[in-house]
């Protein structure tokens, strides 16, 4: 015959067994961040997209739910946020993960011009905590990665080529290839290139060399503009002008793109070719 004490022990043991049988075991151990790297996913004149990628391991079944983060630029916190991930972690196997954060460089064209003038780089860091759910138990994994990011530089207009074709003693066609230099490691989108061409202080012609175009990374786009110097455009003394053999010219206008507007002014001399 069982004593009351033995009956109580047996009942407690049965209760514990039944509870263990109905509840799934919680995974033991902590998650480990095996690898992390901060990359530039995309970049343009106004913003940069950073991509943090890495590998996370957990001894049991778990889910990487999200990442809370703060973006640090040159030592200052400039942005905070949270990214949802929902990545299932295979027990004992390194699992890759990644998320992106976009950051504007500047808010207006004047700030972009100032930043471009520095011609340097920014040290950008992304730090925060990964949120892991392991069987209902929330575990935090800290992360931090940094890299230098080259600051954007505005494109520059220059004379790429120059030609003066003589068609007679009183007619010359002046053609200028305007070069738009893009010094950035990413393409730059252009929306307009206005120009006004003059010779010896007198305006000859004006226009817009492009409506919408793009210049590739570390490349130069060339856009031709031209004007004719004749009796009609210059005046009766055009012959005297052309007999000098050299024409002083000037070009001015505005280069426009997404997020910027850059005035330019160029001048020089062009030697006349022989008559045709």
The continuous run of DSSP H or E covering 37 comes out as strand 32-43
pLDDT classification of 100: cutoffs 50, 70, 90:
very high
What residues make up the domain containing 85? 28-150
User: pLDDT tens-digit profile of 153-200?
Assistant: 999 999 999 998 888 888 899 999 999 999 999 999 999 999 999 999
The residue-averaged pLDDT of 136-153 equals 94
Surface-to-core class of residue 152, CB atoms within 10 Å of its CB (0-12 exposed, 13-18 middle, 19+ buried)? buried
More confident residue, 10 or 182: 182
Q: Are residues 190 and 128 in the same domain?
A: no
- For tokens 């973006």, the residue is 71
pLDDT at 97 over 90: yes
Whether residues 139 and 51 share a domain: the answer is yes
Q: What does pLDDT average to over the chain?
A: 87
DSSP code at position 118: H
pLDDT at residue number 258: 84
pLDDT at 28: 55
What CATH number corresponds to the domain at position 207?
Answer: 2.60.40.1820
Last residue of a domain, one of 150, 170, 193: 150
pTM (predicted TM-score): 0.73
- Whether residues 161 and 250 fall in one domain: yes
- What pLDDT, on the 0 to 100 scale, is given for residue 110? 84
Number of domains comprising the chain: 2
């Amino acid at each position: 015959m069982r004593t009351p004490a033995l009956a109580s022990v047996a009942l407690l043991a049965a209760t514990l067994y039944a509870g263990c049988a109905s509840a799934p075991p919680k995974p033991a151990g902590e998650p480990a961040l095996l690898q992390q790297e901060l990359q530039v996913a995309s970049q343009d004149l106004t913003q940069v997209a950073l991509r943090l990628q890495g590998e996370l391991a957990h001894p049991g079944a778990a889910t990487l739910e999200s990442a809370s983060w703060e973006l640090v630029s040159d030592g200052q916190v400039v942005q905070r946020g949270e990214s949802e991930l929902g990545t299932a972690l295979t027990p004992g196997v390194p699992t890759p993960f990644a998320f992106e954060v976009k950051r504007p460089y500047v808010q207006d064209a004047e700030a972009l011009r100032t930043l471009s003038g520095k011609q340097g780089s920014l040290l950008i860091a992304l730090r925060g905590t990964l949120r892991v759910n392991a069987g209902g138990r929330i575990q935090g994994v800290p992360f931090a990665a940094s890299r230098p990011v080259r600051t954007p530089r505005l494109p520059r207009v220059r004379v790429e080529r120059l030609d003066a074709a003589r068609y007679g003693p009183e007619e010359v066609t002046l053609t200028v290839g305007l070069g738009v230099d893009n010094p950035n490691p990413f393409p730059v989108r252009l929306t307009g290139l206005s120009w006004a061409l003059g010779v010896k202080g007198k305006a000859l012609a004006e226009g817009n060399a492009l409506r919408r175009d793009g210049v590739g990374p570390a490349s130069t786009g060339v856009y031709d503009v031209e004007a004719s110097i004749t009796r009609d455009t210059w005046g009766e003394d055009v012959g005297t002008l052309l007999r000098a053999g050299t024409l002083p010219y000037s070009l001015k206008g505005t280069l426009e793109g997404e997020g910027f507007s850059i005035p330019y002014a160029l001048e020089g001399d062009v030697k006349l070719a022989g008559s045709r």
